[in-house]
Structures are given as structure tokens and as C-alpha cells.
Amino acid sequence: MLNWTSQFGIFAYLDNNEYPNLLNRYELLVGAGASRQYRTAAALQSVFGSRWLFGHINYDYKNVLVAELGSSGTALLENEDLHFFEPEIVAYIPFGTTRLHLESELIPVEQVFEAIIHCEDETLQWRPPQLQFHRILSSREYQERVAIVQEHIRKGDCYELNLCVASYARECDINIPALFQILNHQNPAPFAALYQYEHFAALCSSPERFLAKQGCQLLAQPMKGTIRRSADPIEDEALKQQLQSDVKERAENLMIADLMRNDLAISCRTGSIAVPELLRVYSFPTLHTMISSITGTLKDEKSALQALLSAFPMGSMTGAPKRIVMEIIDAIEPARRELYSGCIGYCNPNGDFDFNVVIRSLLYNRQTRTLSYQTGGAITIDSVADKEWDEVQLKAVALERLFNPS
């Protein structure tokens, strides 16, 4: 399926990697080809929730949602802030099954199936080049910005801020599906995605859900608090317990869970907000992480798209209070986040949707041959600057080791 999608100029390949979660709809979902494209929320409004749509929203779309905000930093990806497409072909495997479903109004599904199963794998012999990534901030510069954030916290401007650092490599020639296949094998994640349109591609191994809708129910699952994995099972379990009991990490997660409760309350019925999971530790190939789950019942007068945009951008990637921390982020981060901290996902003809948080991702501009990624973490008053830099490095390992295995 992955090799078959690469013939299309535009597609979204969304892989669950068999992870169980509070909501699992598809094991694999693919939209390929575009019969129509949408680049504004106004154009989307009349069709969102009534047909298949795949697409993304950049973090910097916040400037449209809040007119007073801006983004003055360096753009590495240079893509559109919002883009959705109606696919010519949809293929999916329902979660927990091995049955392939195909839908297309333009091409006989038997023809699509034959094309998929006879597609040759041209990625097996490709190996990633050795690349040298350049960080936009040095360790010292990052730690200076941690101090700036903590001064804002001491003055009462905010409680927590997610501070990120961009890294990039120039003159990169990438086999996009082959690189994603390697990334997804080394770091399988429940919200993995390979998303391509025009000359942009996102290779995403995200473990985090932003927002999903099932019927009239909304589900957000903010992630805050991480710790490394160990090959030693005893040490690994001890690290997991250490994260579970860490006062700072629990405080980070609680603040964002509370922020997401407020974000969902904008679109949900009074009294319907619930927290079925609080501070639960999930394990992934390179780290343990803490996740809370917040649910709510959508108001009758709110549309699916309104619910999505009312909660955007996700609190786990901003901090609290959201408005002021977005202003601080714009002032102290030298690179625009663009698709990083944004979301990739879909909505189906039943009105249900699911969007991830674009983290643990490689972003590629085929025109400029620039490959970039960003990593970061939540800064609180208890943060220790050099340990925050260590967390930035830890999250970068899973991406950079693809190009420098040693």
C-alpha cells in the first residue's frame, strides 16, 4: 500500500501500528489522489463532515484564528497553513481486522486492488544518506530562553510554556516512502502518517492524538511528561514508575489537561466534560510518556470543523494560558513551527474525524531539498535548564539516528 501511494502527487497514509487506545477506528487509512482541494476554513465549512477529506493545519494557522498573533521567524518548510483534499481513492483496514476496504467513484475498485497487490517495492535497496543537522539554537541559547520563560512565570504571565528548537539539513535527496518505512519500523507510533502534496512531505511518527470525534463525542489526549526507555526490563519498569511519580511531570500534564478541558468546553455541552484517563503512562519504542484523556459531548449548534478549530492549536504544544504563551513563543523561538505542532488527519462521510499532533516528524521541501524537524518540552518554574536540553536531545535521537546510525 505504501509503495502504491507514492505514484500519486497527493496522498495521506495514516498508520495505527496496532496500538490500542480509547478510540480505534482504522488500523490503516489511505486517501490518494485529489478530486478537489481546499485552502481556507470558509471553503471547508460546507463539506467538512459530509465526505472523505484528508489534510493538515499548520501551527501558524493560529494567526488566522487570532488576528493579533503573528509569526516572524525563519520558515524552513514554506508550506500552506491549511490544506485539505477530497481523495479520488480511499483504502482502509478497520482496527483489529485484516479486511481491506476500497472506495472510489472514479476508478473501479477491482482495478485499484490489482494495482495495489502488484505494486513493486522500489524502496528495499535505498539507504538514508548521512546528514549533518544544524540546530537553530545552541544549548546555551536554549537555556537562556528557558530563563526568559521562567521569568514570565515568576511575573505571573503564564504557568507553563512548550519551548521548541528547530534543526535542519540542506541539499537532501530523499526517497520519501523508503525513509518513512524505515522511520515507522524503528519508531512505530499510533498516529504515524506519511502525508504529501505538491512539493511538501511530512514523515510523522507521532504518539499523540490532538482531537477525535465519534458521533457527538469529542476526545482529546494531551501528552506531557517523558522519560527514556531502557533495554533492561527491570530498569525500564523503574523508569516508568519514576515518571508516574514525578511531581514536575505530573504538574505539567495536569495543567495541560485542565487547559484542554477549557478548550473542549467551548464546543461541548455544559456538564459533559469528563476525564476517563488521568496521568496514564504509555510506552513507546524510545520513551515512556504520560497521557491524559478528556471527553465531551458536542453542542448541537457546533459543527465538526468548529470543534476542531476551537481547540487549535493544541495546548500540549503551547502551554497555559494559551494566548499569552503563543505571544511569548513568537518572540523567543527563531524558527516558525509551520506544520510542527500542527495536525494531520481526516474526516469521513459520517462526520467523524481524527487528528494527530505533528511531533517526532521529519518535514521535507522537495524544491529546496531541505529536511527539518523540531523538538522541545514544557518549561515550568521547576524546570532545570540543562535537563530540558537533555529532553530536546532525547527526542531528536529517534530521528537523527536514521541518518547517523552510529
Q: What is the pLDDT of residues 203-233, one digit of tens each?
A: 999 999 999 999 999 999 999 888 889 999 9
Question: Of 27, 160, 213, 224, which one is the catalytic site residue?
Answer: 224
Q: What is the pLDDT of residues 349-392, one digit of tens each?
A: 999 999 999 999 999 999 999 999 999 989 999 999 999 999 89
The model's confidence at residue 122, banded by pLDDT at 50, 70 and 90, is confident
Q: What is the pLDDT of residues 233-254, one digit of tens each?
A: 999 999 999 999 999 889 889 9
Query: Per-residue pLDDT for 285 more than 90?
Result: no
What integer pLDDT is reported at residue 252 of this predicted model?
87
Which domain covers residue 115, as residue numbers? 2-400
Residue 163, strand partner residues: 377
In a domain, 196, yes or no: yes
Q: Which of 29-43, 112-126, 182-196 has the lowest mean pLDDT?
A: 112-126
Query: Per-residue pLDDT for 406 more than 70?
Result: no
Catalytic residue list contains 240: no
What integer pLDDT is reported at residue 287 of this predicted model?
84
Q: Give the 3-state secondary structure of residue 168.
A: strand
Query: Per-residue pLDDT for 25 more than 70?
Result: yes
* pTM score, whole prediction: 0.96
Sequence-separated (6 or more) residues with CB below 8 Å from residue 307:
211, 213, 218, 267, 298
What integer pLDDT is reported at residue 194 of this predicted model?
98
Question: Of 86, 88, 208, 249, which one is the catalytic site residue?
Answer: 208
In a domain, 406, yes or no: no
Query: Per-residue pLDDT for 297 more than 90?
Result: yes
Total domains in the chain come to: 1
Sequence-separated (6 or more) residues with CB below 8 Å from residue 127:
none
| Residue 384's CATH number | 3.60.120.10
Mean pLDDT over each residue of the chain, to the nearest integer: 95
In a domain, 405, yes or no: no
Catalytic residue list contains 224: yes
> For residue 225, how many C-alpha atoms fall within 13 Å in the half-sphere facing its CB?
31
